Amino acid sequence: LPNPYFVDTLRRLTGRSRAVKNFLLKHAETRALLEKLTDLLTFLVPEYVREGKSYLTIAIGCTGGRHRSIAIVEELKSNLQGISGAQLQVVHRDWKREGLADSFSRQKSD
């Protein structure tokens, strides 16, 4: 996927900012990845629920943990909200790294 880090106006932002999301979603490969992940998980999660499994961990990563992985996870969560029996929890593991916590908090839902 294209890396927002290499766009000067996006570098200091995180994947929760609308500008980063828009940058990523304008690329066909980002939309294709989200579609494929959504299709897979829309199939898989109800199977986990049906089998009585209590949790499923999904990890998405990128080079710096600041832009792409955060944006993809946030979009994926939005896409999966309607799955019956699923409770979704997002943990952005690396957002506290390298001063991301301050910028992450400021960009929540902007």
pTM comes to: 0.82
91 vs 2, 26, 94, CA distance in Å? 23, 25, 9
How far is Cα 28 from Cα 24, in angstroms, rounded to an integer? 9
pLDDT of 28-50, one tens digit each? Answer: 999 999 999 999 999 999 999 99
pLDDT of 75-110, one tens digit each? Answer: 999 999 988 888 889 998 876 666 554 555 555 544
